[in-house]
Structure 1
């Protein structure tokens, strides 16, 4: 945490007509409180620091007036100083502990350390310290904890919600909602678990102060959050100017992923200090990390797939400048506090300029200049479309879910609901959380139940939110265009009335970076991105609850019916082969023979497979949309490998068209009886006495390959080796 010296005055366009709090620092009592507040601040940050005016006004409103306050201020302004100072003053007056709802583990760890510097004892309850929960709760009950940080997901954990939350609400001295834009479904990072805060706010005793903070809320989001904070309209909203004087923003367009990766390899050593390289997908983060490490750069990967222990090491290494950069997804988007972070580079554009502003806000908090550079890619919009497809489900899917829960007569887990609802697990979980907040369902031990409360599908609101997302994407396209000050543009997206040309960005003062790359870097990047091959993990268990769909599969797949681990040429989210395969396999793309370049790469995958027994024949899977592509791939592989092409796994009579993309259980329901093995193919497989290479165009849930492999194994195949062009994800 840092208290910087750049003062910012609040703007006068506060949502909902919220008032200005009157400062009592001129009175004897007010002056004494101000002195104590500044003393706590000095313990936090050292030196002769003094609260800036809006920090003091927020502290005074919380401590002296027990108000509800929303602070919308730029990253690095010192929002955490407000709640730590207020906590110390309230605890000195005998108030209960401060409860901070905080979204990310990195943020929690930073804040625990910051609190300790001022003698404030802070503890956390989150998914990474389950073994400590009982001890932490006991310490809270004993009054030895000053600050308790909880993740929003804990608020609707049945045990925490029913057993801990009521006691906590009754004893809380100050409630803090960090990254409060997550409360609003108009915000770029809406999280349904945050909406559970409404219940917590309602259960707080009268007079308990509440503070909400964010750096990334436009006027509409601020209004929404303020209304949720205090429906009476009495919330104090303090908005400040959002300029970041240390940031030098730029956009550099490069023709393809090879050039972008080569540029990073060439110029990473020149970037100031240490920093963050953001990617849009987990696969890209891992891919970029592997490449940069192979080129001798000290970097670490940081994503939702990174284990907590590895995250801790990566955070510590960046803080200590032992690495040049973390290559991260938005998992590092909020709360990581390193004041001297010298650069942020984006390989790919986020779909919201507000999210972009937040991520670049990690840099330049305690240095005079930090470089911020966006390297957009042609694949960005495909990734935006994918994330856009994860919006709130259609009415019929919601109604089907509610009917399934009502008809069950018992709690159903998300896993048990999957066979009944055509939604992927992440969308199903998101929908259930929204329905929970709206009162239609409730999470209990064992899963979800309906409440019986009437619920109306607000199609108009969901459409407005979807339209707002489209507008944000267009704004991100506009940001990349030439002719507008980059910082001014971002500030206008956040409804900052003081937005003006910054004089620092590449539009105002000319580009700081050019497109030059070292030829050796280009060659290395081309080789890395052209390197084919991804392992496809084999399914070992059938999904639970399939009996309700009429499919008899359950439990472990017998060893004699399983596929072996397979291979894919690339992932859909790769910046290498993923970019090249997506157009070939896109909906509506012509069905044509496999391109020579892709075929040559598949041969390279086979050459490096390392199987224990070489396949003795090739079988392809019938397709309604990609039959020519798949058969040409299988037949050419058979020819090159001097193997017999044994035929196809065919569709069963009456089997429908292509199955829609859905969750794992629904996909299995669709394909369980969709295929048959013609007798002549079965005879060839049985007589082969060697592994079979099973060829398809793509895999998503893996059930088509699993069902087809089961048919081949039951026909006598000694092993089935799946091979596809692209693996989704």
Structure 2
């Protein structure tokens, strides 16, 4: 392996570098033996070195480019940068560089590319699938499947598009080496991935070499700090964030949580920024660069900043709320301490964690009735339907519909083509048993995460055992190991009282914007409602306000408890909060009257809210909009169906219309909960048509 060692030293720029245990063995299997290999090694072990060195050696032999299937743009950017530093010509085709696609295609045709990175979703792009993938499959020198646990629906981060790799494997020449890598796979996932890697073109299986190393991370100091309230958790961060080594990541479970926490920390002088699924590509690149350069103390992130983000000297990882499994937790904390002697890892779990786990688990699991509705709608259409057009036919929210289409595509029931989606006509049945097994496995993982929070055994050992690592052993550094040895915890649980007061003040802050809808959903005519395009200015609501989001760190718990309780008048504490929101509302014109939405479920709450606001604001109370149709499809569904559900449910009485006509100023439209905002949008349209010159929506809470 002298050539391989020379390639490694060129790659890392160190003439004395040597392979770590298992790296040379993996390269030997790929280059000399043309095998299929699954490498399961801890983060920071050097999995990318294996495929970079193999690429250099295979290209020297005259082989075609390496094709890497990689799950995240951040990972692609890191890999391309590392490859270029080693003299490897690396390019990518992804959603963020569409202007460069023609240039990349020409370079591929000219064999001027050593390494091409694509997302799993790119494998199903009609143009790429039909015009480029067959040639790449025929001549690529190495296929790499990075973060290979995503192949398995038993994995913590299953990506349906990853299952398309099974089809790609079947199209590869038998002599093409394949490397799959991951740091987060237990025994069940390893077996599942290895089985899928074995698929051959002629139906005969390939033998898969599995190389597995120990997953312990000697640099990590793990700890759990259970705290009863959001105030305590935020106050601890205010007290200790500046003391943590270097720069790091603070993970939250929701986008709203990340944005709120970043805002709170910034207002207290901490240099942090939010990084979520809502952050656009250019901003993500900027934030990643600032974190690498230690220009921020931390990024407050969701799992959008997860697999593949590479900052070897990342000093700490904190979690405000626990991930739903020890496997996912290990993957995220593995971002830290890859090239440092010490990195600090603290979990601050929350009471709301289980509720959030349940939401994400159920949203990612396809339901038989919905799957059959999608297949039936596409079959009946007889032509390609876009996702937006399909939304007007089946009552499924956009994010869930997109995920379901991917699953059905992988299972052969539908296919993405130019212009949208079509039904294939192939036999398909809902595999209820498999999904039940997956759901049960995820439930067990959630219980394991709870056990991790309360265990008295070594925390690193616990994570290793959750990943079926046979080398699991006590680390001697975590809080439980220190407690067993009669020593104090490595982290300080002390909270400065002034920080408690600051956290209380921040979490007591009130008021979030209810942004008005500006466009009607596509395809409403399919549902018998003849509206389309932009909502007319003289029929739209103005910007509104709510007390808080249901997911907020502060008032969120208060509001969730309110909506979970039986109907009753508005509590005094929340009534006072509503008044504070109204006082701080920067409206152009003060409202002169209050109109209430009708409520079938919480009439006492809504009536007391509307009348109370009218009384305290000395506004004219005009009563409630009439409810003329009580039946409802209930919460959930996509925009088109949610609008159809409320369309025609409300009416303006002659008395209310008469009162509106005599007003000289805006109307405050009061509701208890704003979710899709279509109820407020339709009600505002009716009020504007009846004579209101401006409608200001107000709600106790918004869902997100």
The verdict on a shared fold, with TM-score over 0.5 as the criterion, is yes
Show the counterpart of 2:202: none
Offset of residue 344 of structure 1: 0.5
3-state SS of 2:266 partner: helix
Offset of residue 205 of structure 1: 2.2
3-state SS of 2:662 partner: helix
The answer as to whether partners of 1:348 and 1:375 remain within 8 angstroms in 2 is yes
1:508 and 2:485 aligned:
no
1:595-649 Cα shifts (integer Å, max 9, x gaps): 2222222212111211111111001111111111111111100000001110111
1:304 and 2:277 aligned:
yes
3-state SS of 1:196 partner: helix
Show the counterpart of 2:72: 104
Offset of residue 322 of structure 1: 1.4
1:703 and 2:691 aligned:
no
3-state SS of 2:67 partner: strand
Show the counterpart of 1:113: 81
Show the counterpart of 2:38: 70
The structure 2 residue matched to 1:213, chosen from 166, 177, 181, is: 181
1:146 and 2:114 aligned:
yes
Show the counterpart of 1:49: 17
3-state SS of 2:532 partner: coil
Q: Once structures 1 and 2 are overlaid, which stretch shifts more, 568-577 or 655-664?
A: 655-664
3-state SS of 2:500 partner: helix
The answer as to whether partners of 1:43 and 1:117 remain within 8 angstroms in 2 is no
1:449 and 2:422 aligned:
yes
The answer as to whether partners of 1:391 and 1:466 remain within 8 angstroms in 2 is no
Show the counterpart of 1:720: 695
Provide the TM-score with structure 2 as the length reference.
0.97
1:458 and 2:431 aligned:
yes
Offset of residue 58 of structure 1: 0.8
Distance 1:373 1:486 in 2: 11
Show the counterpart of 2:505: 527
Distance 2:141 2:195 in 1: 22
Q: Once structures 1 and 2 are overlaid, which stretch shifts more, 680-689 or 88-97?
A: 680-689
In 2 relative to 1, CA 253–324 (structure 1 residues): closer, same or farther, beyond 3 Å? same
1:432-489 Cα shifts (integer Å, max 9, x gaps): 0011011110001111000111001000101111111111111110000031211111
Runs of 4+ in structure 1 deviating by more than 4 angstroms, as ranges, are: none
1:170-218 Cα shifts (integer Å, max 9, x gaps): 2211110000000111101000111111222122222111100000001
Show the counterpart of 2:580: 604
The answer as to whether partners of 1:563 and 1:709 remain within 8 angstroms in 2 is yes
1:59 and 2:27 aligned:
yes
The answer as to whether partners of 1:562 and 1:706 remain within 8 angstroms in 2 is yes
Distance 1:473 1:53 in 2: 33
Offset of residue 392 of structure 1: 2.3
Offset of residue 558 of structure 1: 2.1
Q: CA RMSD in A?
A: 1.3
1:40 and 2:13 aligned:
no
The answer as to whether partners of 2:527 and 2:644 remain within 8 angstroms in 1 is yes
1:440 and 2:413 aligned:
yes
Offset of residue 547 of structure 1: 1.6
Distance 1:393 1:437 in 2: 13
Alignment of 1:74-223 (within 5 A): 74-223=42-191
Offset of residue 658 of structure 1: 6.8
1:584 and 2:559 aligned:
no
3-state SS of 2:132 partner: helix
Show the counterpart of 2:313: 340
Show the counterpart of 1:568: 546
3-state SS of 1:430 partner: helix
Show the counterpart of 1:694: 669
Offset of residue 551 of structure 1: 2.1
Distance 2:355 2:365 in 1: 19
3-state SS of 2:304 partner: helix
Show the counterpart of 1:640: 616
The answer as to whether partners of 1:695 and 1:723 remain within 8 angstroms in 2 is yes
The answer as to whether partners of 1:284 and 1:573 remain within 8 angstroms in 2 is yes
The answer as to whether partners of 2:632 and 2:645 remain within 8 angstroms in 1 is no
Show the counterpart of 1:685: 660
The answer as to whether partners of 2:665 and 2:694 remain within 8 angstroms in 1 is yes
Offset of residue 389 of structure 1: 2.3
Offset of residue 118 of structure 1: 1.7
The structure 2 residue matched to 1:235, chosen from 196, 208, 211, is: 208
Question: Structure 1 stretches of 5 or more lacking a match?
Answer: 1-33
Offset of residue 552 of structure 1: 2.3
Show the counterpart of 2:486: none
The answer as to whether partners of 1:569 and 1:605 remain within 8 angstroms in 2 is yes
Show the counterpart of 2:515: 537
Distance 1:131 1:614 in 2: 48
1:659 and 2:637 aligned:
no
1:331 and 2:304 aligned:
yes
The answer as to whether partners of 2:626 and 2:652 remain within 8 angstroms in 1 is yes
Distance 1:354 1:482 in 2: 16
Show the counterpart of 1:556: 534
3-state SS of 1:123 partner: strand
3-state SS of 1:176 partner: strand
Distance 1:127 1:728 in 2: 29
Offset of residue 657 of structure 1: 4.8
Question: Structure 2 stretches of 5 or more lacking a match?
Answer: 200-204, 484-488
1:88-120 Cα shifts (integer Å, max 9, x gaps): 000000000001111111111111111122211
The answer as to whether partners of 1:301 and 1:326 remain within 8 angstroms in 2 is yes
The answer as to whether partners of 2:276 and 2:302 remain within 8 angstroms in 1 is yes
Offset of residue 233 of structure 1: 5.3
The structure 2 residue matched to 1:490, chosen from 460, 463, 482, is: 463
1:123-175 Cα shifts (integer Å, max 9, x gaps): 11111111111101111111111111111111111122122212222221111
Distance 1:512 1:600 in 2: 43
Count of residue correspondences: 693
